[in-house]
Structure 1
Amino acid sequence: MRLKPWIWPAAAALVALAALVVGLLIVDRLGERAIAQQQTAMAGAARDYFVAFARDEGVRALADTLNRHAQVGAADGFRYALEDQSGRMLAGADVVSSLDAPDAGWRTVTEPDSSPRRLWRVLAQPLGGGYTLIVAEDLAARDALRAAVFRGSALAILIAALGAAAAGFGLNAVLLRRTRAIAHTAERIAGGDLSARAPVRPKGDVFDDLGASMNVMLGRIEELMTGMRTVADSIAHDLRSPLTRMKGALVRAADPHAPEAVRLQALDDAHAEADTVLATLNALLDIAHAESGLSRENMQRIDVAALVLNIAELFGPVIEDAGQALVTQAPNIPVLARAHPDLLRQAVGNLLHNAVIHAGPGATVVVRVEDAGAGRARICVADDGPGVPPEHLGRVQERFVRLEASRTTPGSGLGLALVAACAKLHGGRLVLGDNRPGLVAALELSDQRS
C-alpha cells in the first residue's frame, strides 16, 4: 500500500512537537532544581551573615537591621524575624510571626488565613542568649521565578525550533531543486538525448562537483556511443564490398561449367577477401583492447630504441622493394620506458606500413627514437612523400577514415586509429605534422602507472 504524500510531513511534525514538549519538560525540571539550589544557597548565606552580625554587633543592632529590611521589603522572597526565648517577635517582618517555626532544619508551612494558600519554607536558627533568628522563604516567589525561566526557555526553544524548521524547509527545497535538475538530466539521457548535461555553477557546492563528474561521465558515454555508431556504420560500409566480392568469387568457384583455372582463381580471390575481412576485424579488436586499458597488465619496462630498430630492420626489404630509402636515428644508449611490447611493435609497424604505401617510390623514410627523459620516449616516422593536407591531419586518426588519394591503395583505414589507441594506452598521444614535404608521425610514450 502506498502512503499518502502528507504522511511523512505529518509524522515529522509530530516528532518535532513531541521533541519540543519533552525539551520543555526537561528545561522545567532542570530550572526547578537550579532555582531550588540557588534559593537554598541564598538562604544559607543570609543566615550565616545575620548570625555573624549578631555575634559581632549584638542582638540590638541585629533587631534594627531586621526592622529596616522589613520596612524596605525584598524582591527575593525572603523574610526575617528575631524572637526571644518565649517566642515573642522582637523585630523583622510581621508575616513571619504567624508562621509555625520548626525546632531544627527547614520545614514547609502554610501561612494562616491565606487565600489562596501561601506556602513558606521556614528555618529557626538559635543565636544564643535565648534569641532565635527566623528565616522564611516565600515559595510563591520561587514559583514566579520558575515560571519566568520556563517562559523564557520556552520562547527560546520555540524560536530555535521555528528557525530550524525554516532552515530545514529551505535546505530541503534547495536539495530537491538540485536533485531534480540532476534527475531531469538523467531522464533526458534515458530518453536518448546523449547531449544532456547536469547544470553546474562556476563556484558551486558538492552538487556542482557531482554534476561536473556526471558531465564528464556523460561526455565519455556520448563519445563511446557516437564511436560505436560510427564504427558500426563504417564496418557495414567497409565490409560490404569485400564480402560482396567474396560471395561473387565463391559463386564463380562453385560454377561446375567454369574452367578449372577460373574456379581456382575464384577460390584465391575469395581467400584474399576473407583475409581482408579478418584483418579488419582483428584491427578493431586490437583497438578495442588498447582503448579498454586491459593491456596495461602486460606493460613492462623495455628498451624502446632496440624495439623500434628491430621493426625497422624487418621492414628494410619491404621499403627497398618499394624503391624507397630507410634512415634510422637512435641514441647509442638504451631508451627505457614502460610499454606494451606487442602493441608498440604493431603501432610502429603500422606507421612504417603507411609510409611504404603512401610515400611512393623514391621517398626516404626516416625512423627516429628520442629519449624525452623521466621514462618518456618519442618515436617519429617521417617521409618526404605527398603527405596529408593540414585540414585532415586530425581526421585521419579516426577509424575507417581514408582520404580520396588513398582509395586506390589497399587498407581499411584502421592503421593510424590503432596507433592513436596505443599512444593513449601509454599515456601519450599521436601527433601528425607536415614534414615539408611529406608526413611526420610522432608517437609519444609516457611512463604512467595509473
Structure 2
Amino acid sequence: MALTYAVLSMVAVFLAGTATTQLLKWHLARHRDREIHAVYRVLASTYIDGGTANLVSTLNAYIQQTLEHSWLFIAIGPGGKVFGGNVHALSLEIPQGWSTADGAQLGLSTGMRYRLYSGTVHGKLRLVVGMKFQQLGYLGRLVQTNFEWAFFATMLFAIIGGSLIAQRMQRRFDAVRKTMDQVAQGELTMRVPLTGHNDDIERLSGDLNSALDRLAASVEAMQQVSSDIAHDLKTPLGRLQMSVAEAIRKQADSLSVSEELESVALEVDQINRTFDALLRIAQIEGGARKASFKPVDVTEMITTLDEIYREVAREAGHTFSVAAPPDGTINILGDRELLIQMFANLIENSITHCPHGSTIRCSAAVYSDAVWITVTDNGPGIPESEHAHVLRRFYRLEKSRTSSGTGLGLSLVKAVADLHGAQLRLDAAHPGLMVTVIFAR
C-alpha cells in the first residue's frame, strides 16, 4: 500500500510538474515574442518619424544597453546593404516574419540561436530584431531544476508518509482482526477499539461494534428463550405426566379417567398454543409478509376491533371504547391481518389483567406526519423498570409462571411493529398503561 501510495503521488507530481513546466515555457516564449515585436515597433516608428539618422541613433542606444549580443539588431537599406545594428554581414536570407537562426549564420561567434522578427518599413527598409534563446533557456532550466528537486522531495515524503500511514492502518486492521478472532472463539463482549478519528476505518469499526452488540443481544435472547422454553414446557409436561399416571392408575382400578383425559387435553392445547405463537413470531420476523403490504384504513380497522371487543369487554366487566377520524382519512401501509392481531393482543391483555370495572380505550390520530394508534387502560399498569423486559419472549411479571398464557403476546406485538417499521412505546397512564404504536406516513 505504501508503494502504491508513493507511486501514485510521484506520477501525479511528475504529470503536474511537466504540465506546469511546459505551460511556463509557452508563456515565456509568448512574452519573449511580444517583447521582440514591441522593440521592432519602436524602431519602425523611429524610422518613420525621424528617418535613417534617427533610427541609427536609436539602434546604437539599444546596442549599448545590451551585453554580449543578447539582443540582435539589423537595419538593411534598399540595396541590401546593412547600414545599422550590431550585425554587419549576413550569410543567409532572413525571411519576413518570425524565424530562428544560428549566431554563426549572422556573422557572430556566440554559438547561440536567436529568435528573429523581420519586417519592411515603408517598402524600403528591412528591419530585423532578435533575442538569444539563452535568456529563455535559463529560466526554463531554473524551472526544470526546481521541479526535479520538488519531484525527489515529494518522492521521499511519499515513501515515508505512505509507510507511516500503512503501518497505522495495519495496526488498526490488526485490532479489528484480533477482535473478530476473539468473538469467533466465543468472547462476545469484545469490541473493536475506537481511536476517535472520524475516518472510514473508524466508521467501519463503529458499524462492527454495533453488529457485535446486536449479535450479543441475540445470543443472550436465544439463551433466555431456550431457558424459558424449557421452563415453560417442563411445567405442563410434568402436569401431563401426572395426569397420565393418574389415569393409568384409575383405569387399573376400573375407575373413570375422564377428568384426567380432560386435564391432558388442556395441557396439550397449552403446549400447542405456545409453539403456534413461536412459529407465528418467527414467520413475522422473517419479513416474508412485507411483500404483500397494502394501504390499510386505520378507522375501518379500529371499527372492526370495536365490533369484536366491545361485548367481550362488557362481559368481563370492563368498558371498551374507540376514537378515530372519519373513514378513509388515515391510511398506513401494512398487513391488515397482522395489524388487527397486534392491537387485539393489546386489548386482550388489558381485558385479562385489569380489575373489574376498568376502562379500555383504543384511539388513532395524526401527529407530526405520523399515525399514532394507542391502547390505554386504567388497570394496575406495568412498572417502568419492566417496560423493556415485557417485550421479550416468555417474560412474565409474575415469576412463578402459574398463570395461564404463553408469555408471547407482547413479543408478537413487537414483532409486528418491527415488521411495519413502527415505533412501540409503553408509558404510564396514571393509573394504568398506555401502549402507543407510531407509524410513519
Q: TM-score range by the shorter chain?
A: 0.7 to 0.9
CA contact (8 A) 2:322 2:361 kept: yes
Q: 1:100 maps to what in 2? A: 91
The answer for the alignment partner of 1:307 in structure 2 is 304
Which residue matches 1:279?
273
Matched-pair contact (CA < 8 Å) for 1:98–1:111: no
After superposition, the CA RMSD in angstroms is 4.6
Cα separation, 2, equivalents of 1:431 and 1:373? 18
Instruction: Report the residue type matching 2:376 in the other structure.
Output: C
Displacement, 1:57? Answer: 0.7
> Which has the bigger relative contact order, CA under 8 A and spacing at least 6?
2
Distance 1:289-1:382 versus aligned 2 partners, 3 A rule: farther
The DSSP-based 3-state class of the residue aligned with 2:234 is helix
Q: Once the 2 structures are TM-superposed, how far is the Cα of residue 220 of structure 1 from its aligned partner?
A: 3.3
What is the rounded CA distance, in whole Å, between the counterparts of 1:168 and 1:76 in structure 2? 51
Find the aligned partners of 2:325 and 2:14 in 1 and give their Cα distance. Answer: 83
Question: How is 1:169-318 mapped onto 2 (pairs within 5 angstroms)?
Answer: 186-198=180-192, 204=198, 210-247=204-241, 249=243, 258-259=252-253, 261=255, 266-291=260-285, 297=292, 300-302=296-298, 303-313=300-310, 315=312
For each residue in 1:328-350, what CA deviation from the matched residue of structure 2 results, as whole angstroms up to 9, or x when unmatched?
A: 33449768664755445545554
Confirm or deny that 1:64 pairs with 2:60: no
Partner residue of 1:448? 440
**In 1, distance between residues paired with 2:248 and 2:209?**
56
- Cα deviation, 1:131-176, whole Å, max 9, x if unaligned, reads 6545343343343343234334545666666677777667666766
Identity %: 23
* Paired positions, count: 428
- The answer on whether the counterparts of 1:330 and 1:370 sit within 8 Å (CA) in structure 2 is yes
Distance across 1 between alignment mates of 2:285 and 2:268: 26
Alignment-derived partner of residue 54 in structure 1: 47
Structure 2 residue identity aligned to 1:378:
T
Deviation at 1:59, TM superposition (A): 0.9
Instruction: State how far apart, in whole Å, the 1-side matches of 2:41 and 2:180 are.
Output: 78
Q: TM-score, normalised by structure 2?
A: 0.73
User: What one-letter code is carried by the residue in structure 1 that aligns with 2:437?
Assistant: L
Q: Which amino acid aligns with 2:47?
A: A
Contact 2:101–2:115 under 8 Å retained in 1: yes
Q: Which residue of 1 aligns with 2:424?
A: 429
In structure 2, distance between residues paired with 1:43 and 1:389: 95
Moved more, 16-25 or 302-311: 16-25
CA contact (8 A) 2:378 2:430 kept: yes
Q: Is the 8 A contact 1:306 1:334 kept in 2?
A: no
Query: CA-to-partner distance for each residue in 1:261-306, whole Å, 9 max, x for gaps?
Result: 4665554443332212111112223334445555554562243543
CA–CA distance in structure 2, aligned partners of residues 126 and 111 of structure 1: 24
Contact kept, 8 Å, 2:350 with 2:360, in 1: the verdict is no
Deviation, structure 1 residue 230: 1.2
> Does the CA contact (< 8 Å) of 2:117 and 2:130 recur in 1?
yes
Name structure 2 gaps, 5 residues minimum. Answer: none
2:359 alignment partner, SS class: strand
| TM-score normalised by length of structure 1 | 0.72
**Does 1:135 find its partner at 2:129?**
yes
Residues in 1 aligned to 2:83 and 2:386: alpha-carbon distance in whole angstroms = 118
For residue 62 of structure 1, report the CA deviation from its aligned partner.
1.5
Is the Cα–Cα contact under 8 Å of residues 313 and 351 in structure 2 kept in the other structure? no
Summarize the Cα distance change of 1:102–1:315 in structure 2 as closer, same or farther, 3 Å threshold: same
Q: Deviations over 1:408-433 (max 9, x none)?
A: 43333323433454555562435364
Matching residue's letter, 1:306: T
Alpha-carbon distance in structure 2 between the residues aligned to 1:332 and 1:86? 113
CA spacing shift, 1:104–1:40, aligned 2, 3 Å: same
